[in-house]
Amino acid sequence: MAPQLFKFLKSAHLDNILIHGTIRISTLSYFRAWEGGRWIGDPNEATTTVAASGAVVASKPGETVSDPWTPPGFGQIVKASDGGKVIFSGGARIKFRGADRFIFCVSQGERDQLVQAMCRDAEEPYDAAVRILLPLELLAHRIFYRSTIVEFGGEPTRWFFASVSSGSVAYDADEHHHSAGLAPAPSAFRKDRHFAAQSEARIVLTPHRDLGREWLTVKLPHPEKLFVEEFRIIP
């Protein structure tokens, strides 16, 4: 059986979803710049950090050698040619960020465990939740094909986005050491273990172009078929 899906939020915003069918999608860069605690915001959203301290890239005469750890799609950071050598100084950390995306985040799993994590133990706790009645991939389909964007005069969401994807977030180390070889590509579906209690799943929308906004209000038809109030005050 598929895990239950919940959207945790502040009770003041509950009726926006339940009555008006509006949800907010925000950019990865918006969450990177979040000024609150490191629970809602994460300066390393969709970022691969390589600890390059002490890394050596050296070549023999007549050859060119590139670093072996730069994530796919980013080319090479340094090259050593004709017997040259590059040594990274102590404390060197290199950040690779993917293209910006808009995301909608939910939590998936066992209800009571999620309530404990999101409403009681969280660094920035919520006091309300809605249960999502559709599987994640179907909700993603509804958002992409059937919703509209309030800030753009109610025009269809699909006019502004090239694609949509959805899936669970994998929780891994915040940093990749150069000695481990090729670093993973930055991904909206990877976060540091610090956030693992959120048990997050995401819907990720890729815009055709820079939309000039950090967040957008998406309006879905027939919200009663998509969402139901789970609680308005922490049980």
| CA dist., res. 28 & res. 200, Å (int) | 15
Of all residues in the chain, what percent carry a pLDDT higher than 70?
97
pTM > 0.95: no
Q: Identify which has the larger pLDDT, 48 or 37.
A: 48
Residue type, 45: E
| CA dist., res. 4 & res. 208, Å (int) | 32
Flag whether pLDDT at 27 surpasses 90. Answer: yes
As given in the structure block, the two tokens for residue 233 are 């005050």
**pLDDT of res. 35:** 63
| CA dist., res. 134 & res. 146, Å (int) | 14
Which of 210, 201, 182, 213 shows the shortest CA–CA distance to 50? Answer: 182
Ramachandran area for residue 153 (φ above 0: left; ψ -120 to 50: alpha; else beta): left
Contact 49, 94 (CB under 8 A): yes
As given in the structure block, the two tokens for residue 211 are 């939309």
**Which residue(s) pair with 148 in the sheet?**
156, 219
Find where tokens 């964007």 sit.
149
Contact 232, 11 (CB under 8 A): yes
| CA dist., res. 209 & res. 220, Å (int) | 23
Residue type, 185: A
HEC sequence for 175-201: EEEHHHCCCCCCCCCEEEHHHHHHCEE
Q: What is the pLDDT of residues 78-133, one digit of tens each?
A: 888 988 888 898 888 999 998 999 999 999 999 999 999 999 998 889 999 999 99
| CA dist., res. 102 & res. 95, Å (int) | 20
**pLDDT of res. 42:** 86
Task: List, in order, residues 6 or more apart from 119 with CB less than 8 Å away.
Answer: 8, 125, 126, 127, 129, 234
